[in-house]
Chains A and B, each alone.
Chain A
Amino acid sequence: MESSLLKIKNLSVEYTVNKYTAKAVNNLYLEIGHGECVGLVGETGAGKTTSALGIMRLIPDPPGKIISGVIEFEGENLLEVSEKKMRSIRGSMISMIFQDPMTSLNPIMRVGDQIMETILLHENISKVEAAVKAQRMLEMVGIPAERYNEYPHQFSGGMKQRVVIACALVCNPKLLIADEPTTALDVTIQAQVLELIKKLKVEFNTAMLMITHDLGVVRDICDKVNVMYAGSIVESGTVEQVFDYPQHPYTQGLFKSIPDLDTDSERLEPILGMMPDPGNLPQGCAFAPRCSKSIEKCRTERPDIIQLDDGHFVSCFLFSTEEE
């Protein structure tokens, strides 16, 4: 809470193909404290993955471009450091794991060697020492060290994801970005992997940015959550604040439209309409066209971020001080 590990201020990212420009991320504000697990939720096209790639400076240019913003990591603006410095940060200070374990691992390299490769890139130790470290890491993610010499295709989806997690955490990064890490996995395997992530988070004291569209996963492992829509954060706060007392109409709509195991509803209440085309965002609040509570102002101006309670923020005119 005092000094944050990561602070994103006013980040905007655009993709331009031919004459079409998509505003993937618009004036994003995001904060992650040391050891905190922060969720970033939203539907497809909200801009979550682009934000993550932005932090890692992995946005392909062309067609992507970071238009504005500051990404402060331990005081340094990542958007201004050299590529060499960035490479030393990736994998050792900030790691990322992706959704599809099938394609995240090199199919022709033994799994143990893949972990070892990460170590050797960042630490000045011998190959033998690195191999030992890699083996220990495998054990920590629940894979017997004897499987060091096996290839990815010999592992199931859940096990592959564990290997990916091992690669990501072996250099003890301060921040782990996980982009839909369990979406492609079966429910019972997802449970195993989430338990593993929870355990490792505690052991390594790693901060996490958990990107997902699954609200249940967020509730399970995150401390704080940010709800993203059309490239911006519409609501953020602790998980209790946002899940038990959602304020933004989009967040509320989201909860009402999801079938939940613990509530019995005859009929779901879908949010009408669709997410706007990022190349053709409406003037004003991006959610206004679908919002049942929108007022005149919503269509012409973009709302600022307003603080509701301690740490609970919302971006909506319904809460601006003038209304009160």
Chain B
Amino acid sequence: MKINKTKRQNSHMQEIWRKLKINKVAMASLIVIIIILFVAAFGTYLAPYHFAEQNYDKVLQYPNKIHLFGTDNFGRDIFSRILYGCKYTVFIGFGATILAAAFGIVLGLLAAYYKKLDNLIMRIMDVFIGMPGMTLLILIIAVLGTDIKIMVLAIAISYTPTFARVTRGAALSVINQEYIEACVAIGANSWRILFKHVLPNSLAPVIVQFTLTAGLSILLGASLSFVGMGVQQPIPEWGLMVSDGRSYLRSDWYMSIIPGLAIILVTTALNYIGDGIRDALDPRLNK
């Protein structure tokens, strides 16, 4: 007589979601990001004032009931500018990261699976990693211009090697496992092995890297704007807003600090989600 162990097997996705739900911090961060995405999509319509609307009567007001985050030196409503600028932050951060991940994952998988390509790919990646990030970006932008799409591409190129490295490392340890040998034994071809078996099992570190990189991309985009190499005035990209408030830090701190906090909020939330997803993805944790 067998001991009764009824265990309804959930599908893979449901399992991941269930595990993620238990993680309170990750869930809170997820909510934050969802709000951010919402604002990115609809910020323009939610903003009470136009981002470029200048009002010389209301210059440099502290946060108050009408202007929730105060006004800047041109009398523009900071709250509206935050809402409006959100989509730039999101577009640059996620856009660049998605591109970097796409390039990097493919390169990393190929390097891990095909020994002959390994050296070639990784040495090229090393060249890029060797270049200091900001310098590389400034170089690209100086040559190609400050269009936001160029910014995204440039940041993506900057982070592709990181994804390639992480993917390659994870893939290498997966490829050493016997179940990959088993796939060869049953006749699977290389593509099937790479994308159906190696990639899904290498995802955990890649996902964490994704969220980290998304945060870093946002910071990088903000930094570029801060030094004037990115988005141009009067677009309220958060980094640019921080830069705008530099001279007023002593007296009107809210001009820089509030967009700064917004950047920190998004980056931190992304990190927590990354941790949460990585833990939830590991099928061996929480039996």
Contacts and interface: CB of A to CB of B under 8 A. Distances in A.
A and B: partners? yes
Contacts of B3: 276-277, 280, 282, 289
A273 B5 contact: no
The binding surface of chain B is classed by DSSP as loop
Interface string B1-14: 11101000000000
Interface residues of B, number: 4
Interface string A38-82: 000000000000000000000000000000000000000000000
The binding surface of chain A is classed by DSSP as loop
A273 B3 CA distance: 9
B1 A289 contact: yes
Contacts of A282: 3
A277 B5 contact: yes
Interface in B1-52: 1-3, 5
Interface string A261-295: 00000000000010011001010000001000000
Nearest to A294: B1
A280 B5 CA distance: 10
Contacts of A273: 2
Nearest to A282: B3
Nearest to A281: B3
Contacts of A280: 3, 5
Interface string A163-183: 000000000000000000000
Contacts of A289: 1-3
A273 B2 CA distance: 7
B138 to A, nearest CB: 46
A273 B1 CA distance: 8
Interface string A130-165: 000000000000000000000000000000000000
A87 to B, nearest CB: 34
A194 to B, nearest CB: 31
Nearest to B2: A273
A289 B1 CA distance: 6
A276 B1 CA distance: 12
Contacts of B1: 289
A257 B174 CA distance: 36
A192 B3 CA distance: 43
Nearest to A280: B3
B6 to A, nearest CB: 12
Nearest to A299: B1
A277 B3 CA distance: 9
Among B2, B3, B5, residue most surrounded by chain A Cβ atoms (within 10 Å): B3
A277 B7 CA distance: 14
B21 to A, nearest CB: 16
Nearest to B287: A20
B3 to A, nearest CB: 6
Nearest to A20: B287
A220 B122 CA distance: 56
A277 B1 CA distance: 14
Contacts of B5: 277, 280
A318 to B, nearest CB: 18
A48 B17 CA distance: 38
A277 B5 CA distance: 10
Contacts of B2: 273, 289
Interface in A219-260: none
Nearest to B4: A280
A41 B5 CA distance: 27
Nearest to B286: A18
A262 B212 CA distance: 62
Contacts of A277: 3, 5
B23 to A, nearest CB: 14
A282 B3 CA distance: 8
A273 B5 CA distance: 13
10 contacts: A273-B2, A276-B3, A277-B3, A277-B5, A280-B3, A280-B5, A282-B3, A289-B1, A289-B2, A289-B3
Name the 8 nearest CB pairs between A and B, nearest first.
A289-B1, A276-B3, A289-B3, A273-B2, A282-B3, A280-B3, A277-B3, A289-B2
Given A277-B5, A289-B2, 8 more contacts: A273-B2, A276-B3, A277-B3, A280-B3, A280-B5, A282-B3, A289-B1, A289-B3
